[in-house]
Amino acid sequence: MRVTVIGTGYVGTVTGACLAYLGHRVTCVDTDRSKIEKLRRGEPPIYEPGLEELIVFANEHGGIDFETELESSVRESDVIFIAVGTPPLPSGESNLSYLENAARGIGAAMDSSRFRVVVNKSTVPVGSGNLVEALVREGIGESHPDLSGAVRFGVASNPEFLREGSAIHDSLYPDRIVVGADDPATLEMMRQLYGALIEQQFIEPSFAPRPANLQSAIREIPLVATTITSAEMIKYSANAFLALKIGFANEMANICERVGADVTEVMTGIGLDWRIGRGFLNAGIGWGGSCFGKDISSLLHTAAEYGYQARILEASLAVNRMQRSVVIQKLQEKLYILKGRTIALLGLAFKPNTDDLRDAPSLQIAEKLIQMGVRVRVYDPVAMNACREQYPDLRITYCMDALSAADRADALVLVTEWPEFASLNLKQLAGRMNQAVLIDGRNFFQPRQAREAGFEYAGIGRAISRPAGNGHPDARPVAAAVPSAD
């Protein structure tokens, strides 16, 4: 099929490249000229493992190109994806201005030569399907009023569930594909578009191997066909629930700390119950990223529009906000006075394997520490350039590696659990520091190892000691960290 993807951010670029990899002919469009120029040179504008290679393959398979204008590709396309940003307004509601512009532009470019489907891939509040339909019609009416009645199109909602950092894997091997469509022709077109994905009829790329559960001959990705409204709600509901799970683990961690329990043991203990599941129950310094906060705020706003106060969602946001201050409290407990100290942060990105800094806990922690008179040194394997560019006024010192960040620091805070930090030589790190204090904001290190290396260690919700004879939490490996989603 001919496909246009509008927006070449984290979602649009990956979606476009994956669809081309599956054999479709894709044009990705963005109003940001610099992103398009980079993509034309084969450089993804974002850090996403495997994306550069995927774009090369995408070119060899269905073919992919990058444009700043949408007219010609929309005219030739069967399916047009909208994957633009929907950032929050101060009121919490979603800013739909990018979506609105895209929808009008699509309408203006359409002609009567074929039936097309306009797909909302952006996360958009209930009612956005109707809004897009109305704006596409407006666009058609404005640019060719004579054609208005003859232009045929359907609107679908196809929310995205990829996780930054494993976006290609998630797009090629999704748990499910949700398609909200209110007419059979639109649904059928989406079914065709995703046919090869649903049946897994494509050769797995070397950098994104097919998972074991999809290796058998009888394999199919479930397509959940719903109304547009249900599809829009599915995305918000999924993100609200995921954030809630993390918030729950954090709340349990705060109680565990007070009563002398270890939250990783507690979460493993409850997570083995299939009704609960272990995923997303890792305690830490709270979730971040561009999605959870904005989506929960948007859902709260929608609920309020309908006269409903969503108290669980309110609490979920409040618990997360509070959790970010836990690092500061722990530093105060260990160092008493923070003014004049040097504190090193390991990690800036809101989670590993991405350069995304949107709503990253690191920024809030760094700002708070600076405000308190602390000198902040940071190291992140990927996100330092993005941070320099996006926050030029942030008074932090960027370091070339973890060791130089720790040099003569009074405390080290693990903010992002980058896999490479697992191979740090903790003894060497502790030896470099003024005071070997380690606040492990992601329960990433083994407490016993950290203490043996000479650190005064504090994790999140991990009891410092327990009565003798009861076994020791450090004796067991920590449950593997579950990567977080958006």
Residues labelled catalytic: 291
Stretch that binds ligand NAD, among 5-13, 271-279, 370-378, 454-462 (CB under 6 A): 5-13
Q: Are 11 and 122 in contact (CB under 8 A)?
A: yes
Q: How far is the CB of 335 from ligand NAD (least distance, A)?
A: 36
Say whether residue 426 binds ligand NAD (CB under 6 A): no
Site string for ligand NAD, 271-300 (x = CB under 6 A): -------------------xx---------
Non-local (6+) Cβ contacts of 74 within 8 A are 4, 80, 105, 106, 109, 110, 116
Q: Alpha-carbon distance 48 to 167, whole Å?
A: 7
Nearer to ligand NAD by Cβ, of 282 and 290: the residue is 290
Q: Alpha-carbon distance 342 to 298, whole Å?
A: 38
Query: At 275, phi and psi to the nearest 5?
Result: -70, -20
Q: How far is the CB of 138 from ligand NAD (least distance, A)?
A: 15
Residue nearest ligand NAD by beta-carbon distance: 9
DSSP H helical ranges for 338-443: 361-371, 384-390, 402-406, 426-432
Q: Alpha-carbon distance 411 to 19, whole Å?
A: 46
Using CB under 6 A as the binding criterion, the count of chain residues that bind ligand NAD stands at: 27
Nearer to ligand NAD by Cβ, of 125 and 247: the residue is 125
Non-local (6+) Cβ contacts of 322 within 8 A are none
Say whether residue 360 binds ligand NAD (CB under 6 A): no
Render 238-264 in DSSP notation, one character per residue. Answer: HHHHHHHHHHHHHHHHHHHHHHT-BHH
Say whether residue 18 binds ligand NAD (CB under 6 A): no
Q: Are 380 and 419 in contact (CB under 8 A)?
A: no
Q: Are 262 and 462 in contact (CB under 8 A)?
A: yes
Say whether residue 125 binds ligand NAD (CB under 6 A): no
Nearer to ligand NAD by Cβ, of 160 and 417: the residue is 160
Site string for ligand NAD, 30-59 (x = CB under 6 A): xxx--x------------------------
Nearer to ligand NAD by Cβ, of 8 and 157: the residue is 8
Site string for ligand NAD, 133-162 (x = CB under 6 A): ---------------------------x-x
From 84, 110, 317, 382, residue interacting with ligand NAD (rule: CB under 6 A): 84
346 token code pair: 């390991």
Q: Which residues bind ligand NAD (CB under 6 A)?
A: 6-12, 29-32, 35, 83-86, 98, 101-102, 122-123, 160, 162, 164, 290-291, 486
